[in-house]
Amino acid sequence: MNYTRMVIEKEAPEEYGYDRIRYNLSESSIADQKLSEIGLSLPDLTLFYGEHRGDKQLRALISAQDAGISPDDVLVTAGAAGALFIISTSLLSANDHLVVIRPNYATNIETPRAIGCAISFVDLAFEEGFAIDVERVKAALRPDTKLISVTCPHNPTGTMMSRTELDALVALAESSNCRLLVDETYRDLSYDRRLPTAASLSPRAISVSSLSKAFGIPGIRIGWLITRDAELQEKFLAAKEQIGICGSVIDEGIARGMLERRDVFLATLLPEMAKRRDIVQAWIDRDPLV
């Protein structure tokens, strides 16, 4: 692995210093939450090694959000970044190729690059509304392609694939004998519709998400990956065990409490987010150069 620090992390607010920032206009999640603000308190936890796959109740809460997903399909990780690292290092080698629909989260590019994997980019265009052209993705595939990587809702534009486009990417992964990785970290901030988690549609699809962005608690390093491929899940579990054995029982306890309140929390959050979206849209309508 040839590691290089990512620019996005070098310039992160926590590296620059929160005390030096008055207005953070580039924050990628909702406002950071306090335990007291979200009505959570820690139970008297025993600080033992947790379940290697992640707390059983937490995995049940995650899997219950989509039909066709079971707790055994879920692996709890150290944030979405931990999930993406496990996926790249488990599936890719210097002899493999992946297709990245770009812009994309930096980890989905830099970890494969550190592995020495060949990468082809399918760039989204502002003039096309950042829409995905599945035919261009198909044209980028090679016989040694192991993975197609995309984010939805898209990071950083917030645009959404249609169900037809998602189904087409799943079908492409199936017909090409590769995997489809969908980074769904912003899925709970969808306004009008929420696509099914990609992993529920096919064993060739892998979904990744976390509590960092939509729930504003990146300080607990809780994310997850979902795959219905049991053999692949065992490989991912082996990677997690060799990296850190298990997660923090404290973090998983807080995560469980948050997801038990998920619907109430999002019900209060989304109207405010929609109001801010409408304000921004009004600015854009008034001045397209905004």
pLDDT at 275: 63
Residue 1 domain-assigned? no
Measure the CA–CA gap between 101 and 134, rounded to whole angstroms. 10
Q: Is residue 2 part of a domain?
A: no
- Residue 279, domain member (yes or no): yes
What is residue 132's predicted lDDT score, i.e. its pLDDT? 92
Task: Give 103-161 as a DSSP string.
Answer: S--THHHHHHHHHT-EEEEEE--GGGTT---HHHHHHH--TTEEEEEEESS-TTT----
Whether residue 76 contacts residue 53, with contact meaning beta carbons closer than 8 Å, is answered with yes
Is 147 part of a structural domain of the chain? yes
Q: How far apart are CA 29 and CA 151, in angstroms?
A: 15
**Distance of alpha carbon 109 from alpha carbon 112, whole angstroms:** 6
DSSP E strands in the chain: the ranges are 74-77, 97-102, 118-123, 145-151, 179-183, 205-210, 223-226
Q: Per-residue pLDDT for the chain (290 aa), expressed as one digit of tens each?
A: 877 777 777 777 777 776 787 776 666 666 777 777 777 777 788 889 999 999 999 999 999 999 999 999 999 999 999 999 999 999 999 999 999 999 898 899 999 999 999 999 999 988 888 889 999 999 999 999 999 999 988 777 778 899 999 999 999 999 999 999 999 998 888 766 789 999 999 999 999 999 988 888 888 899 999 999 999 999 999 999 999 999 999 999 999 988 998 888 888 776 666 666 666 566 656 665 54
Pair of tokens at residue 10: 């070098």
pTM over 0.75: yes
Both tokens of 46, joined, read: 């025993």
**Cα 127 from Cα 104, distance rounded (Å):** 18
Q: How far apart are CA 32 and CA 213, in angstroms?
A: 9
pLDDT of residue 26: 61
Q: What is the pLDDT of residue 290?
A: 47
Q: What is the CATH number of the domain that holds 254?
A: 3.40.640.10
Half-sphere exposure of 212 (CA within 13 A, CB side): 21
Whether 264 is covered by a domain: the verdict is yes
Quick check: 104 and 155 in contact, CB under 8 A?
Answer: yes
Residue burial 76-110, b: 16+ Cβ < 10 Å; e: rest: bbbbbbbbbbbbbbebbeeebbbbbbbbbbbbbbb
Give kind and range of the element (H or E) at residue 176. helix 163-176
Residue 240 domain-assigned (yes or no): yes
Give a yes or no: residue 136 inside a domain: yes
By residue range, what is the domain housing residue 252?
Answer: 7-286
Domain tally for the chain?
A: 1
- Is 130 part of a structural domain of the chain? yes
What is the sign, positive or negative, of the torsion defined by CA atoms of 216, 222, 228, 232? positive
